[in-house]
Amino acid sequence: MSQDLLYTIALPKIPSIGAITAKNLISYCGSAENVFRATKKELLAIPSIGPSVVEQIKNHEVLGEAEKELHFIEKNNIQALTYTDKNYPHRLKHYQDAPLVLYWKGNASLNHYRIVAIVGTRKPTPYGQKVCEEIVNGLFGYDVLIISGLAYGIDITAHRKCVELGIPTIGVLGHGLAQIYPAAHRTVAQQMIENGGLLTEYTHSEGPDREHFPMRNRVIAGMSDALIVVETASSGGSIISAEYANNYNKDVFAIPGRVNEPFSKGCNELIKYNKATLAENAADIARHMRWEEMDHQKTIQSSLFVELNETEKIVFDILKNSEGMQVDRLTYETKLSSSIAASVLLEMEFKGIVKSLPGKKYMLV
């Protein structure tokens, strides 16, 4: 374990420092270790950093907590992925509020070819459970990884069906990896580690506090290509997930239900207010995402590779495993400047290799 990892784990343990402030500090100081080694004067020169934050940084109690975390992850074969790590979820990393560190136990790729999130109420109807299972079953042939929150209801229904079918599935947790919440899902969680995994931004000693779960939902939304809401009331965690997904320019789908059913209301409102696309089954989702068409065109795309210059090949390589990527993420992944990336994309669009999508996204034709 690198020394800087210790300091990177410690930084978000400081109460008044969230992901955005932590990244800002690291950007100014050069590394997490340098944040702790900086003088008070140097820290106060950083925008938005006041005396109270500086005092908390200078109180090194969090370093002791970080050392305990390092021992825990080493003992339990857990990976600590910082936001600069190549294995950190690339769909998530370019959002400002993405976690500084993620703790991961599993064998799936966090950058799987296609990632679908399935969320819903903790108290689903038999109809909701049936539809959820049918959607998972229908997605089986599309080479997807399915993520959810390991909660009661729709979440665990999706996870269990994935385990049954052998679809890789990841549970994003609102607590540390020293426990499983709810405890009733421990067996399923263990099976998920064998084909998928468990992911959290919380250190092992942190429990399932109420405020953790909305934050957990942003990770589910940020990691996914598409988010499906099966059943939900007009407020709650699933609606929060859908709001995050919309803010992140993800594709959101909702399963319609009867107008007077409490747990159909949220889905119906998402559709009604154009915050989600109506979907009745997995085929609707695949059709909207153009997955079948893309699979058919892979061989055509590969033949274009020889016609590209070196910079275009870099962009091509990044886009070939994506169903639509935003310009800011593309510039992050390619390390190109915004102006060069825009010029390359325009040239590739003229050549008929890429096309623009809503939300400032680009994809291969």
pLDDT at position 295 is 58
Model-level pTM? 0.81
- CATH for 3-75 is 1.10.150
Q: What angle do CA 88, 139, 271 make, to 5 degrees?
A: 90
Q: Alpha-carbon distance 99 to 285, whole Å?
A: 28
Own/partner pairs, 285-288, CB within 8 angstroms, 24+ separation? 285/116, 285/135, 285/139, 285/226, 285/228, 285/253, 286/139, 286/142, 288/251, 288/253
Placement of tokens 């709650």 in the chain: 236
pLDDT at position 299 is 47
pLDDT at position 260 is 87
Q: Omega of the bond prior to 182 within 30 degrees of 0, cis?
A: yes
pLDDT tens per residue across all 365 residues of the chain: 578 899 999 999 998 899 999 999 999 999 999 999 999 999 999 998 999 999 999 888 899 999 999 999 999 999 999 998 989 999 999 899 999 999 999 999 999 989 999 999 999 999 999 999 999 999 999 999 999 999 999 999 999 999 999 999 999 999 999 999 999 999 999 999 999 999 999 999 999 999 999 999 999 999 999 999 999 999 999 999 999 999 999 999 999 999 989 999 999 999 999 999 999 999 999 999 988 755 545 544 544 554 678 888 888 888 887 778 888 888 888 888 888 888 899 888 887 788 888 767 888 87
CATH class of the region 105-289: alpha beta
Contacts of 8 (CB under 8 A, 6+ apart): 26, 32, 82, 100, 101
| Domain extent listing, the chain | 3-75, 105-289, 291-364
48 sits in the region (left: phi over 0; alpha: psi -120 to 50; else beta) called left
Please list the residues that pair with 251 across neighbouring strands.
226
Placement of tokens 């400032």 in the chain: 360
CATH ID of 291-364, from 1.10.1660.10, 3.40.50.12710, 3.40.630.40, 1.10.10.10: 1.10.10.10
pLDDT at position 363 is 85
3-75 and 291-364, same CATH topology: no
